[in-house]
Amino acid sequence: MGSLALKNVCKSFGNVEVLHNINLEAEEGEFMIFVGPSGCGKSTLLRIIAGLEDATSGDVEIAGDRVNHLPPSKRGIAMVFQTYALYPHLTVKKNMSLGLKQAGEDAARIEEQVKKAADMLELGPYLDRRPAELSGGQRQRVAIGRAIVRDPKLFLFDEPLSNLDAALRVNTRIEIADLHRRLGTTIVYVTHDQVEAMTLADRIVVLQDGYVEQIGAPMELYNDPDNMFVAGFIGSPAMNFLDARLLDMPAEVATIGLRPEAISLGSEGPISGKVSHLEHLGADTNVYLHVDGKLLTVRLFGQQDFEVGSTVHLQFAPDAVYRFDKDGKRIR
Amino acid sequence: MQRVKHNPLNLALAHLALIIYTIIALFPVLIIIINSFKTRKAIFRDPLALPNSETFSLIGYETVLKQGDYFGYFQNSFIVTVGSLFFILLFGAMAAFALSEYRFKGNTLMGLYLALGIMIPIRLGTVAILQFMVATGLVNTLTALILVYTASGLPIAIFILSEFMRQVSADLKDAGRIDGLSEYRIFFQLVLPLVRPALATVAVFNMIPIWNDLWFPLILANSEETKTLTLGSQVFIGQFVTDWNAVLSGLSMAILPVMILYIIFSKQLIRGITSGAVK
Ligand SMILES: Nc1ncnc2c1ncn2[C@@H]1O[C@H](COP(=O)(O)OP(=O)(O)OP(=O)(O)O)[C@@H](O)[C@H]1O
Ligand SMILES: [Mg+2]
């Protein structure tokens, strides 16, 4: 029995079904991340877990209890929103303590919880400020603090980093990972950034158009994707897909996939291409090739040079080739 | 506030336009106030002149205060205006919140129905309203006026407020729900403070017509105790003779409370605009 379980959850808005039969379980203390392209239903699923939206059918269980009919405040959850959603007219301290006050906790415990969260997030100096007097990063920390104070069984994060600039995003990402280690609470986290998902998650749930495509640990998804969508979504730069006829393949294989980092370039090999562009990143070099009318990415270690327009051959280990059938399903 | 470098010529022209507009707008008011302090003869001989020792007279104010219960009328107008505004804002905001926040069957239809009143003048229903008030025994009460004004003010209030409420961050309301706030507290404590500028706008738009209305007080509440200021001032305007001193003095005094209310609301308006720090 996990700390979160979704059983056959479906959701429709009017006639449009946006979530189809979602089944998943998160273990106690697990960091689970929902990823998928925009509009695939990540936020909707999170809101169903929170109780902000009712599922059309199916069950939500938190810590073993069915919570379908409980309001959000009674589910033992806390949520951090993309826009922070701090109460503009309340001080940081009151923002953080409102939930406990509503739940009827006594003042001493509220004080203690707020102090604990403020220490953890280094918010001590700002407790008497209003949200308008804080920077974006500080507001995000207050929003996280407001969630910690409630001491929930389950944390929900909806794209908490997407309003922060790149440097702050990396810092906050590390802070969240650290927070998870210290609190040990189950976290469900939504993002459309696969790097965030890879670096933070214990397990990733890949969603597309309201379907679960695959659930697994980051390296499982990277090394052993079930289908073309997951293979293309996880990993950066994305996997290259080529027509199977370029190689000698069984008839049922329609598409082959090659990770950019699994290819090296040489003067002979089964597939050749024309160099169209180079990106020097210092530690890596990205080479873009025209192969069979498609743009293919090759990621080479170190600093390498090729002449644009020259012809090169792809070299790769035979087991680096992923094979997919005509529906995009992986053939193992 | 954002500071933009202005071309001094443009600045001067803009100020000139604003000053001219102010003079034009204030001129009639000024004339009324000046003439309310003059004798009747002086008013007609030279309407634009300031009162001097010879023409100065408070006769108008004396007449107004002696004739009828001027302060009573005043009080009635005030009660009716403030009462109506209160209910328009309260019910208007509540309906707007429901329309903008909750998905239910017929939501759009309900919104259209509630906004329909904007296009239909309530005076068309005067006869039915009068019959209704007679049947319920509300004739000659201030309640009757408050009810009518509330009904007539609601459509535009709902229309404007629901538009503003749609813009209040949905995450903020959801955060309140997760913290266990009731829908009422979300409405009163999170949403209303954020739409304060819209509330002030609606209040200002509704206030003046209610304060100045003659029609409904005349029909629904024309007893001595329930007369409003506008109705009470009518005694000085006759078919053949008009007591201009009294009319002008009455008008001058009637401006004051509206001005005070307006200043209160517009302060809210400006504060709402300048402190709009949502994110
Ligand atoms: N209140 C609503 N009424 C109707 N359709 C909705 C509503 N909320 C969401 N949808 C639809 O449900 C689908 C999933 O939306 P959702 O917000 O869950 O996407 P998302 O995966 O969070 O995307 P993003 O990464 O852009 O936040 C979308 O197609 C959206 O149009
Ligand atoms: Mg979303």
Please identify among residues 118-147 of chain B the ones whose CB lies closer than 8 Å to any CB of chain A. none
Q: Pick the residue from chain A with its C-alpha nearest to B275.
A: A132
pLDDT band at A2 (very low <50, low <70, confident <90, very high): low
Contact A315, A269 (CB under 8 A): yes
Q: In chain A, pLDDT over 70 holds for what percent of residues?
A: 99
- The dihedral over CA atoms of B253, B258, B259, B260, expressed in degrees to the nearest 10, equals 100
pLDDT of residue B127: 93
Mutate to test the pocket of ligand 1, among A17, A33, A44 (most ligand atoms within 8 A of CB): A44
Contact B20, B13 (CB under 8 A): no
B175, B194, B277 ranked by CB distance to A132: nearest: B277
Q: Pick the residue from chain A with its C-alpha nearest to B193.
A: A89
CA distance B7 to B254: 42
Q: In chain A, pLDDT over 90 holds for what percent of residues?
A: 79
A73, A78, A85 ranked by CB distance to B169: nearest: A85
Q: Please give chain B's pLDDT, 279 residues, in tens.
A: 455 667 888 889 999 999 999 999 999 888 988 988 988 888 888 888 888 888 888 888 888 888 778 888 889 999 999 999 999 999 999 999 999 999 888 889 999 998 888 888 888 999 999 999 999 999 999 999 999 999 999 999 999 999 999 999 899 999 999 999 999 999 999 999 889 888 988 998 898 899 989 999 999 988 888 988 888 888 777 767 778 888 888 888 888 878 888 888 887 766 655 554 443
Instruction: Give A38 Cα–ligand 1 centroid separation in angstroms.
Output: 8
CA angle A2, A3, A4 (to 5 degrees): 90
Please identify among residues 248-267 of chain B the ones whose CB lies closer than 8 Å to any CB of chain A. none
Fold of B61-278: MetI-like fold (1.10.3720)
B176, B180, B189 ranked by CB distance to A103: nearest: B180
- Give the orientation angle of helix B59-66 with respect to helix B244-274, to 10 degrees: 90
Length of chain A as a residue count: 332
CB contact under 8 A, A87 and B175: yes
CA distance B85 to B92: 10
Query: Which numbered atom of ligand 1 lies nearest the CA of A44?
Result: 18
Stated as kind and residue range, the H or E segment containing A274 is: strand A271-280
B179, B278, B279 ranked by CB distance to A73: nearest: B179
- Asked if pLDDT for residue A27 goes beyond 80, the answer is yes
B169, B180, B193 ranked by CB distance to A89: nearest: B193
Tell me which residues have their CB closer than 6 angstroms to ligand 1: A 13, 18, 36, 38-44, 192
CB contact under 8 A, A50 and B178: yes
**The whole model's pTM is what?**
0.82
pLDDT 10s digits, A256-311: 999 999 999 998 888 999 999 999 999 999 999 999 889 999 999 999 999 999 99
Q: Which one of the ligands is nearest to A193 CA?
A: 1
Residue type, A5: A
pLDDT of residue B254: 82
Q: Pick the residue from chain B with its C-alpha nearest to A75.
A: B178
Beta pairing, strands A154-158 & A77-80: parallel
Contact B187, B195 (CB under 8 A): no
Our CA-based measurement puts residue A204 at a distance from the nearest CA of chain B, in whole angstroms, of 25
Q: Indicate the domain borders of chain B.
A: 1-57, 61-278
CA distance A111 to A15: 48
Query: Which numbered atom of ligand 1 lies nearest the CA of A16?
Result: 5
The interface predicted TM-score of the complex, written ipTM, equals 0.86
Q: Pick the residue from chain A with its C-alpha nearest to B168.
A: A85
- Asked if pLDDT for residue A92 goes beyond 80, the answer is yes
CB contact under 8 A, B175 and A82: no
Our CA-based measurement puts residue B10 at a distance from the nearest CA of chain A, in whole angstroms, of 34
| Structural domains for chain A | 4-230 (3.40.50.300), 241-331 (2.40.50.140)
Q: Pick the residue from chain B with its C-alpha nearest to A156.
A: B178
What beta strand segments (E) does B132-264 contain? Answer: none
pLDDT 10s digits, A95-152: 999 999 998 889 999 999 999 999 988 888 999 999 999 988 899 999 999 999 988 9
Query: Which residue's CA is minimally distant from atom 31 of ligand 1?
Result: A39
Query: B274 touching A, CB under 8 A?
Result: no
pLDDT of residue B277: 41
Distance set, CA B265 to CA A57, A104, B18, B201, B268 (Å) = 48, 37, 22, 8, 5
What beta strand segments (E) does chain B contain? Answer: none
**B194 contact residues in A (CB cutoff 8 A):** 88
**Total beta-carbon pairs less than 8 A apart between chain A and chain B:** 62
Q: Which one of the ligands is nearest to A19 CA?
A: 1
Mutate to test the pocket of ligand 1, among A11, A16, A18, A159 (most ligand atoms within 8 A of CB): A18
**B180 contact residues in A (CB cutoff 8 A):** 71-74, 99, 102-103
pLDDT of residue B1: 46
CB contact under 8 A, B175 and A81: yes
CB contact under 8 A, B171 and A82: yes
pLDDT of residue B4: 61
**B179 contact residues in A (CB cutoff 8 A):** 73, 98-99, 102, 146
Q: Which of B101, B167, B178, B191 should we substitute to test contact with A (largest number of A Cβ atoms within 10 Å)?
A: B178
Our CA-based measurement puts residue A81 at a distance from the nearest CA of chain B, in whole angstroms, of 7
Contact A65, A36 (CB under 8 A): no
CA distance A133 to A139: 9
CB contact under 8 A, A99 and B179: yes
Stated as kind and residue range, the H or E segment containing A196 is: helix A194-200
A73, A85, A99 ranked by CB distance to B171: nearest: A85
- Asked if pLDDT for residue A168 goes beyond 60, the answer is yes
Query: Which numbered atom of ligand 1 lies nearest the CA of A40?
Result: 21
Q: Could you tell me which residue, B5 or A43, shows the higher pLDDT?
A: A43
